[in-house]
């Protein structure tokens, strides 16, 4: 499948034949079942993850191959028009996924594990991977190709960016047992390691260093490597004073994330309530 997807992506035909659509259907079925992923664990990588560029190419093929069609349940009251290759994902009770009524949307071509809870309205995009037992809360987004581990809580209004392009770029990774607080944003291929906690309003991206007060170091994205938040780190939104020029004279500070502690028994007690909601 990989070689066929890469060939079809790199050598665009004059028109797409039935065999091409059959190939994409098989590829999308593999995405839905979690058999292929835009990124996957790799113990030999410094980040613990590797990008599967060919999978990203396959996801992009879907946008290239599909035509815009009417997907409306009621074209007059609630019209929807989107690519024919990416309808909403089909679930049954046997899928063992809670999708609470109220306007959520999950696009076809993503993996959603058993025991996942979807609180309305939330959105999971094509190519995403959301593992067992995770809660995606109201107004939260899991972007295309984002990888979310087991037993995470993506709290209300949080944004987990995807990173579909460029195809070789690391998507956002949220490992197992991570709590992402309300109104957080994780973007540009950031890797949040297992059991980390992001306090309300924390923003993580390649451009903003993270100051670790406990280990007295600064975590940064360097070159092609993503920003990596260490295991069990507790990160909150902070500020850093500008030390030169008009910014210093005017007393201006800029936003920066700060690691204030690492998880302990007190942290676990404070977030234990989350398990009762699953």
153-162, 175-184, 222-231, 260-269 — which is least confidently predicted? Answer: 260-269
Residue 155 CA to residue 12 CA, distance in Å, equals: 41
To the nearest 5 percent, what fractions of the chain are helix, strand and coil? 20, 30, 50
Tens digits of per-residue pLDDT, 154-206? 999 999 999 998 888 999 999 999 999 999 999 998 999 999 999 999 999 99
Tell me the torsion sign for CA atoms 138, 78, 70, 93: positive
**Level-2 CATH architecture, domain 21-67+89-268:** 3 Solenoid (2.160)
Residue 98 CA to residue 91 CA, distance in Å, equals: 10
User: Which is higher by pLDDT, 271 or 110?
Assistant: 110
Q: Is pLDDT of 273 > 90?
A: no
Residue 131 CA to residue 42 CA, distance in Å, equals: 17
Residue 151 CA to residue 186 CA, distance in Å, equals: 18
Residues 33, 111 contacting (CB under 8 angstroms): yes
Name which of 97, 107, 105 is nearest 135 in CA terms: 97
- pLDDT for res 265: 75
The token duo for 236 is 């909150």
Q: Is pLDDT of 268 > 90?
A: no
Q: How far is CA 262 from the centre of its chain?
A: 23
Tens digits of per-residue pLDDT, 102-137? 999 999 999 999 999 999 999 999 999 999 999 999
- pLDDT for res 192: 98
């Amino acid at each position: 499948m990989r070689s066929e997807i890469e060939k079809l992506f790199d050598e665009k035909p004059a028109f797409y034949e039935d065999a091409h659509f059959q190939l994409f259907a098989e590829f999308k079925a593999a995405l839905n079942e979690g058999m292929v992923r835009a990124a996957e664990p790799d113990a030999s990588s410094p980040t613990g993850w590797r990008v599967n560029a060919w999978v990203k190419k396959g996801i992009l093929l879907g946008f290239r191959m599909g035509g815009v069609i009417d997907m409306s349940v009621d074209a007059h009251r609630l019209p929807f028009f989107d690519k024919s290759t990416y309808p909403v994902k089909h679930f049954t009770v046997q899928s063992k996924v809670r999708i609470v009524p109220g306007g959520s949307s999950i696009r076809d071509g993503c993996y959603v594990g058993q025991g996942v809870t979807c609180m309305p309205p939330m959105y999971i995009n094509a190519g995403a991977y959301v593992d067992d037992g995770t809660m995606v809360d109201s107004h939260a987004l899991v972007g295309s190709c984002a990888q979310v581990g087991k037993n995470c809580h993506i709290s209300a209004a949080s944004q987990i960016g995807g990173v579909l392009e460029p195809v070789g770029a690391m998507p956002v990774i949220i490992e197992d047992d991570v709590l992402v607080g309300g109104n957080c944003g994780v973007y540009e291929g950031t890797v949040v390691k297992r059991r980390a906690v992001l306090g309300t309003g924390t923003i993580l991206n390649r451009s903003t260093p993270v100051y670790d007060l406990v280990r007295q170091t600064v975590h940064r994205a360097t070159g092609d490597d993503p920003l990596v938040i260490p295991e069990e780190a507790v990160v909150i939104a902070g500020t850093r004073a500008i030390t030169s020029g008009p910014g210093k004279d005017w007393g201006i500070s800029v936003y920066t994330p700060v690691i204030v502690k690492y998880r302990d028994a007190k942290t676990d007690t404070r977030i234990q309530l989350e398990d009762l909601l699953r």
